[in-house]
Structure formats: structure tokens, C-alpha cells
Structure 1
Amino acid sequence: MRETLRGLLELTRPVNAVAAGVLTLIGAYVSGADGGGLAAFPLQGAAAVLATVLATGAGNAINDYFDRDIDAINAPDRAIPRGAVSPGGALFFSVVLFAGAVVLALTLPVLALAIAGFNLLALVAYTELFKGLPGVGNLLVAYLGGSTFLFGGAAVEGALATAATLAALAALSTFTREVIKDVEDLAGDREEGLNTLPIAVGERRALAVGTAALVVAVLASPVPYLRESLGLAYLAVVVPADLLMLGAAAEAFSDPSDAQQHMKYGMFLAAAAFLVGRSIAV
């Protein structure tokens, strides 16, 4: 029983699920204006954060269900390949988590509910239909990652301009990281007959596409400061984040495994820049 519970927890990728909830919280916080925001609607903000954690955990679990044969090659220590959780058990667990997320989303404003509903359909479509299509699965995951900020802002009926900018920048950097991860998983994906971007166009070309998306994000990152939505404190944090992500993109050509981890750190630092910029008006 203990091994099964541990396996179920592992399926959710708890660190990633909680991190997604934090990103939703940041989206709610930075959108605080025009009578909306986290301070005005704390219960809605809490519901949105918990819904994001549950939905992310559910998405990770169902992804492992569909990827169980690939994981037997790429990640044999994961819960399903090693036998801690059966495929049917993982599928049932993901449905329970999705149901909890839906119940919480039903308490939120219409726009937030619409985002949650679309994201649920997109997540299922990704795992079942689009994951193995060159670039398409990467774009869908990028949208889902960026939309957590927009979902947070919509949940608390805030001003969405800053949250939308954060969502767009996060989507671009997430696309880059997903391409790097596809390069890292090349052997298992090829074994399963998937046609990911690195398989379709080659590793270096795929990484060049991912790097180009990141460069667009980096070039656009000063926009909130130039629009005077966020102060100098934002710029002071986002510049190191940009440099860290650009370094990770360059590292991916020689070591994609370490690069995708470093990219994740840079993305979290960039999200923190919005938080600092909203908190400190300089």
C-alpha cells in the first residue's frame, strides 16, 4: 500500500503541480487592478490555485498512462513501468483529480471557467492526439503552461494585460524547453514511432527553432517595463532570468538533460520578476 501511495504521488509530479499552482497565484497577484485582483477575491484565487494543482497532477498522471511504453525505455523508474501503480489505477486516479479540478473551477467567473474547460480539452487532446506531431504538441504544452497566469488573473476578475504578457512570454520559453526535452527523449520517442520535431527535422534544427522562440521572448521581456506596467525592480530580475535561459538554450546543443533543468530555473526566475515588479514600484 505504501508503495502504491508513493507511486500515485509520483504520478502527479508534485513539485511541478505545486509550481503550476504558484504560477496561477502569481497571475492572480499581478492582475490586481480595476477593482479586481487577489486582495479583492482571495477565495476565488485559492480555488484557482488548487484547481491548477489538481489539473496539473491529473495531466501528469494521464500522460504517464499514455506514455507507459515509452517510459519503459526512457524512464523505467517511474511508477507505472516499475509496477508501483497499474495503468488502470493511474487512469482512474487522473479522472478523480480532474473531477476535483472541475468542481473548483465551477466556482470561478465565466472567463476563468472557459479557460479551464478549454485547457482540459487541450490537455486530453495533447496526450491522445498531438504529442507525437512535430511541433504541435510542443505548442500546445507551451500554451497550457502560459495559460496558468491568465487563468489566475481571470479567476480574480483582475486587469489581464500584465497577466497576458506574462502568459505569452512563459509560453514562448516553455516551447523552447519542450523542444529540448524532446531532444533528451529522442531514443524512446523514435522507438515508439513518434514524429517529434527533433525526429522530423533533426536535433540541431529543432534546437535552433526552440532557441528562436526564446530569443523572441527575451526581446519582448522589457515590454512591461516600457509600458510602465512594472517598475525597474522587474527589469533587474528579468535580465538575469533572460541570460540564464539563453545560456540553457546554448547548453542544449551539447547537454539537453541539464539544459532543460536550467531552462526551468530561468523560467521560474522570470515569473518571480513579475512578482517583484508588481510588489516594488521603482
Structure 2
Amino acid sequence: MEKLKAYLELVRAHNLLATALGVIAGSMLVVKPLLVPALIAIITAVMIAAAGYAINDYFDIEIDKINKPERPIPSGRISPREALLLSYPLFFLAPLIALIVGIFTALFAAINSVLMYFYSRSLKRMGLIGNLVVAFSTAATLFYGALAQVEWIKEWKVLALIMPVVLMTFFLGLAREIVKGVEDYYGDKANNVRTLAVVWGPHKALKTALILTIVSIIMAIISFFTTPLSYLFLALTVSAGIASVISIAKAMKGKDPVSAAKVPRRVMKIAMFVGLIAIILDRSLSLALLGYKAEEA
């Protein structure tokens, strides 16, 4: 049981739930989501995410010995070799399993596997590039869930319609990563990590995050017109976006934007979770209503 607990900690089990929710939300953006492609997308996305977390801790062994000695690898509960033996098969098997749905779903899974590997190996230390990869991987869960459904039913035009929702998630995710860079400004500057906060300064970085958050709100509004999502989704996502904008603006006005950045970072994390729940809740209610009307007819 102790070994299992260590493995669950290694792969960030709580974050895997968020990955699954993202895929479920993406699947539900399709008018009539089907169970088989949804399950395959969820399973393979969770496999890639778990592999990514494991390989991340492998490459961060020396850093974690100092900053997070309680983590499974530096604490000795999981060996570096065990982390590799877990991550490599998951990276390899996920695209193969995704082939059950189709070649494009498998290809997208393979791209994400490669991206997660190189992010952990080197990209995460390259500042903005690392931020872009994280934002892409966050939005990719939505796109992946929808892609699996679309390839299964061969309704490719749906992908274009759901892109505003994907972009909403991408821009908010990128904004949050930039805010995290502001919060980590002093450590990143000392270690020559070229985040926007280090290159442009904390204030300009927060201003950029503010603009990106506003763009994500605009994408949410556009999504209302291009998808089956209703006023419930619109109200929840726009409210969460406005809360994020207000929190960033307050951090910008503070005397110490670096220490103040932790508040908008937390608010934006909640906003992203609210966005996923808004999609799932909105579509669940809509599908339940459609089923009720069908029974009446």
C-alpha cells in the first residue's frame, strides 16, 4: 500500500482527475457524445498525463532534493528507474490505444506524449515557451475529447465550432502561467529562467496576463454562439473570467506585485475549474432535457 501511495503521489492522482474532466468536457461539446470514444480518450489522456508527471519528477531529481525532498523520488520511495519504467510504456501505449478511435486521435496523442517528454526535459526552463506548452496541454484535453468524438462519427466540421472554447481555455491557461512566473520572479531570475516577468518585469507580465484573460472572456462569449452551450455556461465562465481580471488588476496596483501574484494565480485556477464544470453541467442538463422531450414525443 505504501508503494501504491507513492506511485499515486508521483503521477499527481488529483491532477489526473482534472485531466479526465477536461476530456469529458471536450467530449460533451459534441451534440451527441458517444461512450466508446469518450472512454478511450479519457484513459489515454490520463496515461499521457501520468507519464508526464513521472518523467517530470525524474528530470527534477536534483531540484526536488532541495525544494521538495518529500516527493517520491528524492525521499527514496520511488527510484528514478521505476519512474522511467512507468512513464515510457505509458507514453508509448497511449497513442496505440487511441488508434481504436482513429489515426488523427492517435497522432494527437503521440504529439502530446512527445511534447510532455521534452517539456520536462528542457522546455519548462525556457520561460514563455514552457508557458505556451502548459497552456496548450491544458486546452488539449478539451480538444482531444472532442476530436475522439468527431473522428468516431466523422463529423469534422464540429471541430471548427468548438475551437473558441479550446482557445478560451488556452488563453486563460497561458495567462495563469504568466502570473505564476510573476510569483516565482526572484527564483526564476536567480536561475536564469526567462519568463515574461524576468524579461519584461512583473508589472508588464501582469498586464499581458490581464489582456490574455480578457481575450479568454471574449472567446467564452463567442463559444456561446458557436456551440450547443447555453446561458448557464456563459454566466459561469464570464463571471469566473471577470473575477480573474479583478484579481490581476489588484495585484498590478499593489506595491509588491510579486507577492501579490499568488492571489490571482489561485483565482485563475478556480476559474479554469469552473470553466470545465460549467461545460459538463451545461451539457448534462441540455442532454437530460433532450432525453425528456424525446420520451414525451
- Does TM, normalized by the shorter one, top 0.5? yes
Q: Which 10-residue stretch deviates more, 218-227 or 139-148?
A: 218-227
Partner of 2:29: 30
Equivalent residue letter for 2:269: K
CA distance in structure 1 between the partners assigned to 2:94 and 2:219 by the alignment: 33
Structure with greater proportional helix content: 2
Alignment of 1:180-259 (within 5 A): 180-190=179-189, 192-227=191-226, 229-250=228-249, 253=257, 254-259=259-264
Structure 1 residues 3 and 261: CA distance shift in structure 2, 3 A? farther
Q: How far off its partner does 1:243 sit?
A: 2.4
Q: How far off its partner does 1:86 sit?
A: 2.2
Q: How far off its partner does 1:186 sit?
A: 4.1
Partner of 1:261: 266
Q: Which has the larger radius of gyration?
A: 2
Equivalent residue letter for 1:165: P
TM-score, normalisation: structure 1: 0.86
Determine helix, strand or coil for the equivalent of 2:126.
coil
CA distance in structure 1 between the partners assigned to 2:276 and 2:24 by the alignment: 11
CA distance in structure 1 between the partners assigned to 2:18 and 2:138 by the alignment: 11
CA distance in structure 2 between the partners assigned to 1:14 and 1:264 by the alignment: 17
Q: Which runs of 5+ in 1 are unaligned?
A: none
CA distance in structure 2 between the partners assigned to 1:115 and 1:155 by the alignment: 10
CA distance in structure 2 between the partners assigned to 1:64 and 1:219 by the alignment: 36
Residues matched between the structures, number: 275
CA contact (8 A) 2:165 2:219 kept: no
CA distance in structure 1 between the partners assigned to 2:8 and 2:278 by the alignment: 30
Q: How far off its partner does 1:193 sit?
A: 4.1
Out of 54, 66, 75, the position equivalent to 1:82 is: 75
Q: How far off its partner does 1:30 sit?
A: 1.1
Q: How far off its partner does 1:237 sit?
A: 1.8
Q: How far off its partner does 1:142 sit?
A: 0.7
Quote the RMSD (CA, aligned, Å).
2.4
Alignment of 1:118-197 (within 5 A): 118-157=111-150, 159-190=158-189, 192-197=191-196
CA distance in structure 1 between the partners assigned to 2:262 and 2:198 by the alignment: 17
Equivalent residue letter for 1:272: I
CA distance in structure 2 between the partners assigned to 1:65 and 1:137 by the alignment: 17
Structure 1 residues 241 and 180: CA distance shift in structure 2, 3 A? same
CA distance in structure 2 between the partners assigned to 1:180 and 1:122 by the alignment: 22
Q: How far off its partner does 1:241 sit?
A: 1.7
Question: What is the aligned-residue identity percentage?
Answer: 30
Runs of 4+ in 1 over 6 A off after TM superposition: none
Q: How far off its partner does 1:240 sit?
A: 2.0
Structure 1 residues 209 and 52: CA distance shift in structure 2, 3 A? same
CA contact (8 A) 1:132 1:194 kept: yes
Equivalent residue letter for 1:264: K
